[in-house]
Structure 1
Amino acid sequence: MVDAETWTPCCSIEEADRILTRTGSLLETETRIIGGRVLNVWKNLWPSLRLFFLHSTKKYADRTYIVYQTECYTFREILDKAVRCAVILRDVYGVKKGKDILLLFGALAPHLQYRGSSSHLLSKLSNLIVFWACHLLGAVTALVDTSQPLELLRYCIMLTRCALIVLDPERADMIEPVTAELSLASGASGCLVLENHEGQGHWEGVDVWNAVSSGYNRAEHRSLVFWEDYQSTATGCSQERMGKEVEERTIKFSSYTIR
């Protein structure tokens, strides 16, 4: 082990910052005016998570994205599930561009070291799918630290003024006594729990994803165009580049198979 008292860094923090943000690097920075504010931003990163996700799922469509024990899901399969989820969030809960969606669950994706049943995997997989679904719609995901006690969670939820509260069974158990109060105070159109302990869970005032998904009328599906609200003013992209990306990457829901 290196002795902290005798260790000498190779460069200063300022020098390291210059190296990381040098011209041509992934973390190169520049100054832009976004929303009327002058901001120092990364120049070469993707304009949005939505663009990054759709590019990745197109480029690596048939490659494995999520692996757990014997379960495997490709990028295309995750995209299909995210698209369906996005349509339901839009039509049932009114989720759209700019709306804040509060995500209140323990983990965003299943991890290889996670030990549990397949139902636990599906629960964590649902977390990831709803996260991408929100970004496909242009919604803003607000991820709350779930280790906080109820009073702090209540404060965060009310402060967010979210359109929808999405949570896992553990957090549903925690906030069930104040669900009605939180929905009213935050302005949320509903609370949605992603998994219901294989049909055993029930929470007053909380919708369960399995029931909402199975009860959705597929005949009412409308084309879902992800890029109709893509604005160059929000990303710094030129109109020419934006138009090309819209033309190349516009995806309609009708092109996907409902599972």
Structure 2
Amino acid sequence: MFVFAQQTAEHRKFLESSMKSSVAIWFSCVLIVSCLCCVATGQETATLRMKFAVDGSVPEPKSISNVNDAYCAENPLVSNKLLVGKQGELQNFAVILDEEKSKLKIPAELLKAPAATHVLDNVKCMFEPKIIVARSGQTISVKNSDNTGHNANFNFLKNPPTNFLVPAGQSKDLSLKPDLVEPTAIPIECNVHPWMKAFVIVKQHPFVGVSNADGVVEISNLPAGSGAVFRLWHEAAGAIDQVEVNGKSQKLSRGNRLELELKPGVNDLGVIKLNAKLLKAD
């Protein structure tokens, strides 16, 4: 019995040692294959980071008057077209990779959008969020958290224009066409409550960023390289021919386009300032 137990223990140790060796070999093979794939594609990635700020003073957001709905009138309504922080931080500024103008090579797998649903809610008679970033073929679910009816009028240029009612407490889905992109930010309006407005940006690629309350935008996993062209967009801005990047003047090409060289790793542009005269609150 003792001999048998000893043999069994030795056999167990042998099996455990063999399994560890096999696992180590397997991980080594995976690592080698991964490295070979990286070498084969030669694709390095970059992160683009910047902060938008307003140079100059802008008017305070205006209160919305002539509210034609008793439910909506229960809470003070203020315009969210131009939201600027105490230090000039500019919110809801979109940075969009222009795939047609750019020289960057976007890997084919990054042009295949995963299934996803983006929620646009009606909250206290305002759309939330202000800007939705979606990809071709994905779904937008319009939710109504209010105790009054709304409609959502999508003024698409490429996808079929869509307008539907969303009763109180309900929701309705909209499917974007898998092969269509929108050339600009598309307005979404509630015609029942004309002050309500949001936007949707629809691209095949994932390289779109929108500034937060701190004015910060970050876009990750971009292909590194020269000739990256980004379109700058804000609801309150029209044509932008010039901005200030970390204290230096930077001209933009037609269509508010900024061309950059993206180096592997983090590309921090610092603070980008817009002249307050370029922004219109109304």
Structure number with the bigger relative contact order (C-alpha 8 A, sep ≥ 6) is 2
Structure with the larger helix share? 1
Structure with the larger strand share? 2
User: Whose radius of gyration is greater, 1 or 2?
Assistant: 2
TM-score by length of 2: 0.25
TM-score by length of 1: 0.26
